[in-house]
Amino acid sequence: MVAERDSLNALQGQITTRLHDLELEIIALDTTRSLTTVTTLTVKKIPFDELTASLQQVRQHEIRIFYTGNLPADSVQKWVENYLLTIQPTLPSRKDVRPLRKTSENELLLVNDKKAVQSQLYLLINSGIPRNPDKQPNISAFNQYFGSDMSSLVFQEIREFRSLAYSASARLFNGSVEGNPAFLSAYIGCQADKTYSAMETMTALIHDLPQKPEQIDIIKKSLAQSSAMARPFFRQLGQTVYNWQWNGYEQDPNIGWVKAYENLTFDSITDTWKNYIYQQPISFAVAGDKKKMKPEQLSTFGTIKELKLSDIRKK
């Protein structure tokens, strides 16, 4: 029994890994990160001189160091200068941001795995709308209403009321400082024979948002309490402040969000849905046993592009 459980867990882990690659295939315009990552075998064949040269090139980039501890600041500075800054950085640091996939019509990427125990589904909607920090309170309200926790529409409609999935969630992201637009990302994990029904319910929620204005007061209270109590763990304080600055905030954004939540209305949620999601094409990614999923039904969600495992990751 233990061996069977371990085997099942290992298989499920393989499926989850494949789906992570598949999600990247959807989000990226060209290829998955797994196909461009250098394998361990390839690294072993690289001459030592080339590896050293690559390391020196990397060290030319600006670095940021966050320290938490009992040492005085000048001691930490001396240690950094002696061991990490033997080569002075000449290039700015940068974040590796992949462009989002943008389609003009619905599409479905399918990976057939005969050994799959479950179906794993991802959905992506690229809104095309640039990041707007002022819209974050509205986006947070929409997320709580639509799909980010157990009280949301997605969780209640798909998992609780209809028992179509083991897991279901969705979240709207407010784009990035680097230029990527806002996008909706959703996930469903379900039995293969429930794939179509789960996808059908998710797309119905996306296309026709149920109206429950009586929930707005609970959402406002929950968001305000979360922001009022939000404080980074002390070891992450430096990194958190840096991320605030990177995203254009001059102070803890929770201060402004608490005030903004007081002015939220249910229209804040419906307007967010209309502006970012409504009538936008959807990219689907599905991995599982194709026969159990009935691909003739899945074709109603968009043009199917079947992928081999070698299309999304190296062996």
Q: What is the pLDDT of residues 162-217, one digit of tens each?
A: 999 999 999 999 988 878 899 999 999 999 999 999 999 999 999 999 999 999 99
In a domain, 86, yes or no: no
What's the Rg (C-alpha) of the chain?
23
55 located within any domain: no
Query: Has residue 43 been placed in a domain?
Result: no
Cα 177 to chain center, whole Å? 16
Q: Is residue 29 part of a domain?
A: yes
Looking at residue 29, its pLDDT comes to 52
Task: Give the span between the Cα atoms of 8 and 228, in whole angstroms.
Answer: 42
pLDDT digits (tens, 9 = 90+) for 6-51: 433 443 444 444 555 666 566 555 555 666 677 788 888 889 898 8
The pairing of strands 167-173 and 283-288 is unpaired
CA dihedral 40→45→49→53, nearest 10 degrees, is: -40
* Residue 226: closest CA among 202, 199, 206, 253: 253
Q: How far apart are CA 294 and CA 99, in angstroms?
A: 32
Q: Are 183 and 128 within 8 A, CB to CB? A: no
Q: Are residues 126 and 181 in contact, defined by beta-carbon separation less than 8 angstroms? A: yes
pLDDT in tens, 148-164: 989 999 999 999 999 99
Kindly report the number of other CB atoms within 10 A of residue 168's CB atom: 26
Q: Is 171 helix (H, G, I), strand (E, B) or coil?
A: strand
Would you say residue 47 lies in a domain?
A: no
Q: Is 302 left (phi over 0), alpha (psi -120 to 50) or beta?
A: left
Domain contains 91: no
pLDDT value of residue 225: 94
Measured from the Cβ of residue 187, the count of other Cβ atoms closer than 10 Å reads 20
Structure tokens at 145: 């209403």
Q: Assess whether pLDDT exceeds 50 at residue 239.
A: yes
Domain containing residue 198: 2-37+97-312
- Which candidate, 312, 304, 114, places its Cα nearest to that of 196? 304
Task: Give a yes or no: residue 189 inside a domain.
Answer: yes
CATH no. for residue 162?
Answer: 3.30.830.10
Integer Cα distance of 27 and 92 in angstroms? 26
- The pair of structure tokens assigned to 156 is 């209640």
Average pLDDT, the chain: 85
| Amino acid code (one letter) for 278 | Y
78 within a domain of the structure (yes/no): no
Q: How many domains does the chain have?
A: 1
